[in-house]
């Protein structure tokens, strides 16, 4: 069959197997080339880096930041990896989710490079999957020296009570109206959200806060599968003030603040028990499957990308995670953190000169009342084409070198 993108309400509902696989290979090639460059420049990287990770568990391994973390661990450091994600498998005639194809591509490349890996498809919030990962670590005779927590999910079942919690993407305290942009057409719209009630805010913390991460570390520690000195890192976003009402000061930000508080508590415990540590890394805002549906974010990101590309500091998931590993986690000295104990790999996004320019462009767009002129202005001031490419490439479309008119015989393989 011929596979073309099917986009509904800012979500791409199918994936291209060969396109997804190529994107994984591109990320692997990037990491290998960058590691070689760092080594040539005399930096301590790769297997010989001080404290280089030998075995890494990635929760949320199939797309976005989790996939890029797994690729960095395996292909910059040669680390054995165990990955957990929750993806729909393709069938012979029907598309699976992109992460299904990404996992197949990662496993294939890892095996070809002789790097041990095991991928688990299932609900990471369940104790059954935790038990499965523990069994796998024992069977592989590995102890993790890094656990990456990169899960983004709209729902979570509490394993103690069986209650299903749903997260909300809402402001807190007052309604929010923000501009949205359709990445496919460049059409600007507006989206309003009523403020969350206390229950919705608490439920979002249940899903995206630190409770599940803490449970993972507790059970892995008890099972003896964490190495002495093991670190764990989860990901957060802060972003500039234009996005705070819906993100940092909204329900999702409340969950992220809980995650950050959890890291501070876990850090103390891990230091005392296994000489380890827990961190939250604040990453750059990027187009992944989760971020495309948040109001204002696509417009902000398309302006941000233009400004950062012009300055030469734009990064995607893989550039961010390669830098997180090489310049923060495994740079050979104490992991640098800010006053709130956060790793800041969003430093180039938050560069005051970048933010001043993005704010200026946001204000120019807000001042233009005429819809058509506003859309033309966004096309000029922003990087909608780049945004659209990233949006499609996350599903294996618009990837260079892939023939999208070629027949795809089966949708359950790459
Ligand atoms: P993503 O949607 O690309 O990836 C989410 C991953 O979680 C996938 O591997 C998916 O399979 C997995 N997952 C979801 N539910 C699961 C479940 N029940 N069991 C097992 N796996 C499950 O998301 P992303 O954008 O890479 O986000 C990852 C983390 O990074 C999140 O914490 C997010 O808040 C954070 N972050 C994202 C951005 C951004 O702009 N995208 C910026 C900063 C931080």
- CA dist 259 and 262 (Å) reads 5
CA distances for 303 relative to 244, 299, 300, angstroms: 17, 6, 5
- CA dist 230 and 146 (Å) reads 6
Instruction: Write down the residue that tokens 């396109």 correspond to.
Output: 19
Q: Are strands 144-149 and 226-236 parallel, antiparallel or unpaired?
A: parallel
The distance from CA 67 to its chain's CA centroid, rounded to whole angstroms, is 8
Q: Is the pLDDT of residue 291 over 90?
A: no
Contacts 24+ apart (CB under 8 A), 213-216: 213/149, 213/259, 213/262, 213/266, 214/262, 214/265, 214/266, 215/130, 215/159, 216/59, 216/124, 216/130, 216/147, 216/149
Q: What is the pLDDT of residue 49?
A: 87
Q: What is the pLDDT of residue 292?
A: 66
CB 353 within 8 A of CB 241: no
Separation of 276 CA from ligand 1 center, angstroms? 24
The residues facing 231 across adjacent strands are 146, 277
Separation of 59 CA from ligand 1 center, angstroms? 9
Nearest residue by C-alpha to atom 28 in ligand 1: 150
Q: Is 125 in the pocket of ligand 1 (CB under 6 A)?
A: yes
Residues 384-401 as b or e (16 or more Cβ within 10 Å = b): bebbbbbbbbbbbbbbee
359: which residues sit within 8 A by CB, 6+ positions away?
240, 242
Q: Is the pLDDT of residue 411 over 80?
A: yes
The average pLDDT across 105-131 equals 98
Which residue would you say has higher pLDDT here, 298 or 97? 97
pLDDT band at 6 (very low <50, low <70, confident <90, very high): very high
Q: Which two tokens stand for residue 241?
A: 């003030």
Q: Give the residue, out of 290, 292, 294, 300, with the most ligand 1 atoms within 8 A of its beta carbon, to mutate for a pocket test.
A: 290
Residue among 205, 202, 196, 204 at smallest CA distance from 258:
205
Instruction: Give the pLDDT confidence of 158-196 residue by residue, as tens digits.
Output: 999 999 999 999 999 999 988 888 888 889 988 888 999
Separation of 164 CA from ligand 1 center, angstroms? 19
Question: What size, in residues, is the chain?
Answer: 414
CB 132 within 8 A of CB 156: no
The average pLDDT across 237-263 equals 96
Active site residues: 247
Q: Is 65 in the pocket of ligand 1 (CB under 6 A)?
A: yes
CA distances for 330 relative to 198, 283, 342, angstroms: 40, 17, 16
Q: Return the SS3 of 248.
A: coil
- CA dist 99 and 84 (Å) reads 11
């Amino acid at each position: 069959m011929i596979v073309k993108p099917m986009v509904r309400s800012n979500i791409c509902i199918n994936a291209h197997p060969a396109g997804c696989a190529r994107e994984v290979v591109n990320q692997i090639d990037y990491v290998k080339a960058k590691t070689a460059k760092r080594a040539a420049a005399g930096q301590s990287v790769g297997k010989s880096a001080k404290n280089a990770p030998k075995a890494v568990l990635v929760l949320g391994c199939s797309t976005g930041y989790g996939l890029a973390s797994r690729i960095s661990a395996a292909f910059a450091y040669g680390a054995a990896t165990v990955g957990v994600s929750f993806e729909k498998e393709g069938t012979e005639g029907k598309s699976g989710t992109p992460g299904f194809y990404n996992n197949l591509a990662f496993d294939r490349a890892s095996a070809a490079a002789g790097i041990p890996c095991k991928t688990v498809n299932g609900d990471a919030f369940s104790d059954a999957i935790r038990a499965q990962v523990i069994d796998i670590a024992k069977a592989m005779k590995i102890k993790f020296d890094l656990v990456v927590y990169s899960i983004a999910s709209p729902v979570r079942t509490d394993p103690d009570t069986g209650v299903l919690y749903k997260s909300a993407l809402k402001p807190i305290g007052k309604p929010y109206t923000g501009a949205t942009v359709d990445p496919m057409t460049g059409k600007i719209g507006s989206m309003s959200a009523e403020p969350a009630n206390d229950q919705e805010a608490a439920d979002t913390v249940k899903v995206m806060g630190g409770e599940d991460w803490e449970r993972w570390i507790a059970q892995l520690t008890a099972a003896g599968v964490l190495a002495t000195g093991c670190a764990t890192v989860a990901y957060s976003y802060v972003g500039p003030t234009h996005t705070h009402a819906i993100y940092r000061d909204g329900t999702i930000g409340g969950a992220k603040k809980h995650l950050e508080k959890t890291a501070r508590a876990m850090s103390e415990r891990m230091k005392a028990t296994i000489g380890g540590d827990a961190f939250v890394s604040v990453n750059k805002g990027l187009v992944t499957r989760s971020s495309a549906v948040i109001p204002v974010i696509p417009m902000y990101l398309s302006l941000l990308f233009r400004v950062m590309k012009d300055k030469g500091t734009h990064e995607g998931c893989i550039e961010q995670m390669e830098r997180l590993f090489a310049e923060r986690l495994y740079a050979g000295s104490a992991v640098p953190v800010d006053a709130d104990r956060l790793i800041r790999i969003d430093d180039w996004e938050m560069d005051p000169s970048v933010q001043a320019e993005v704010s200026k462009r946001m204000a120019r767009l807000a001042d233009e009342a005429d819809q058509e002129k506003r859309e033309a202005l966004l096309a000029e001031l922003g990087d909608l084409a780049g945004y659209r490419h990233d949006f499609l490439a996350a599903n294996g479309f618009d990837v260079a070198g892939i023939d999208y008119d070629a027949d795809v015989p089966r949708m359950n393989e790459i």
